[in-house]
Structure 1
């Protein structure tokens, strides 16, 4: 059976080749020191290091890249370059390399972000201030309002996605993905997800007729942002691998679908939670920061529940077939059920 343990970063990054590449681009000289692996929301490899007194963060695909991993790295770097100078909080791109011959994969270097991820136990002063936590929730929404307001064509991203019929493709895309899980022996089946068929049908019947295309993050929630250490503002939006040109209101739906509601099935956990705004306040904040039409905001919330629930159910299906840890699969199955229950309540 193939091991699921990722190799240590030392075996995945040729430091000498990286240093030579940096030297060729005028990014310092001498050794790369203080190499420190950073935790990320994905299996992508993140390293912080210092050269000539300057700090860098290096990002490359996982040790065992997926078929599209290198193209994803190139897309991330392109997007970060395009966002330079905008009011969207993001890690600043220093340099990137799409040529896989250098390190065997595409990669890029970015400025370190002075901030923290809020998942788990909050640090001080945030942990001690409900008012600051309230403003953190509003700042989260400000991030996607700023992102969705960008003119993607003016930023050179007119070919970064396929916005034509973006909303019309969604249900069929995820319905097909769910049906595909039948290949995993032992999967409990789609019928274990409450009202999955009814939710999909409702989405098709109530789909907004039109939308204004823009940049969307694609996986926007509390686990994929960093906050300033001294206040409630965002320091950076991170993990851009699913970014595309589509309907930015789906990012708002994603925030709502992942927003904790006090139930064990919530997809993110932050302590302490009291003080964070209610979901309705998040919608009102977005409305005050965006010119987009929010009359169908429940549709985007339901679509996010539908899409995320099906994604999480994929791990459960693999776990049923022995291809993922059973405990993880069962936990994510519970979260998928919770998401469909949430969607079911919304369409009622």
Structure 2
């Protein structure tokens, strides 16, 4: 729990609204990486994001990284949570934290049992959700990250070499089984990496789970959220990460059985990629490379969870997903004639 008395004193000293009003904190979500609470003080509402109490000390660096990105998005076209304040003084509540504006919207993570009204019955409005999703990272890719002081957030030089080296090493460290197709996909990525790309701000885990929408139609993004993986790199990996699981047939059973949302009748991958290209101004002719990288990387990320699953049913469910992703990466690599 949060010591609301000490937090309120800090907020007063920082000159934040609501001085003198009682402060209430309500837990919204969280796990091993972050905890999120809704703060209410009179008529003022904000959100606090902080590491859990037992988090390692280096998690503070992650919180500050998220804060830098959140603050940098102010004044841009990217839908985001407003940056309010950050605190690194552990004497306040024992952890580094930051405050951001409360977003009155809804998350697709709550759409496991169907899209909320009016998107459940209005196909055109529902299509807008997908186009808005693609538009979010297109706008993100256009942010002038140097002007926003993010020149040292990532290392775009050698980005693709490091992706392959880092995640191959990560897999070997957590290795519990062989994955069919991994050698094929890994070698292909090494041999076909883009020779040139336009660096940009990346989300790192871009999908429906990490955005919020405004209520009602037309579909409008309210905010991109959860910046743990944010960096400066190659934004087209965000695009591939978003669409790598998009089915070929948007009216097939596969469209209805994605991990947490029903994509039936949504725009096709080609339509979303075209919309991204139009908004971002980036060419997407080499998207196959990024799709191979996205499937390959996601397989390795999920494999780590599977190898540490224990009795966790969710992590256990990654077991059959991982080999499928890696085979898809290898098959796409073998079928692609693109050479950078």
Relative to the length of structure 1, the TM-score reads 0.88
Aligned to 1:7: none
Aligned to 1:71: 61
| Cα distance in 1 between the residues matched to 2:294 and 2:22 | 42
1:131-210 correspondence to structure 2 within 5 Å: 131-182=124-175, 187=176, 189=177, 191=178, 193-210=179-196
Aligned to 1:26: 15
**Conserved 8 A contact 2:32-2:55:** no
Deviating more after overlay: 252-261 vs 71-80: 252-261
Counterpart selection for 1:228 from 201, 210, 214: 214
1:211-290 correspondence to structure 2 within 5 Å: 211-231=197-217, 232-259=219-246, 262-263=253-254, 268-271=259-262, 273-290=263-280
Q: 1:161: how far off?
A: 1.1
1:328 aligns with 2:318: no
| Cα distance in 1 between the residues matched to 2:90 and 2:155 | 26
1:341 aligns with 2:327: yes
Q: 1:300: how far off?
A: 0.7
| Cα distance in 1 between the residues matched to 2:234 and 2:22 | 41
Structure 1 residues without counterparts, runs of 5 or longer: 1-9
Q: 1:263: how far off?
A: 4.0
**Conserved 8 A contact 1:265-1:334:** no
| Cα distance in 1 between the residues matched to 2:141 and 2:300 | 25
**Conserved 8 A contact 1:258-1:268:** no
1:304 aligns with 2:294: yes
| Cα distance in 2 between the residues matched to 1:211 and 1:99 | 39
Q: 1:266: how far off?
A: 6.9
Q: 1:31: how far off?
A: 4.5
RMSD: 2.0
Q: 1:41: how far off?
A: 8.1
**Conserved 8 A contact 1:316-1:326:** no
Aligned to 2:116: 123
Aligned to 1:6: none
Partner of 1:156: helix, strand, or coil?
A: coil
Structure 2 residues without counterparts, runs of 5 or longer: 336-340
Instruction: String of CA shifts for 1:55-85, please: whole Å, max 9, x gaps.
Output: 1111101232134311111111111111101
**Residue correspondences, number:** 325
| Cα distance in 2 between the residues matched to 1:213 and 1:72 | 21
Q: 1:52: how far off?
A: 3.0
Relative to the length of structure 2, the TM-score reads 0.90
Pair 100,163 (structure 1): closer, same or farther in 2 beyond 3 Å: farther
Pair 41,87 (structure 1): closer, same or farther in 2 beyond 3 Å: farther
**Conserved 8 A contact 1:265-1:335:** no
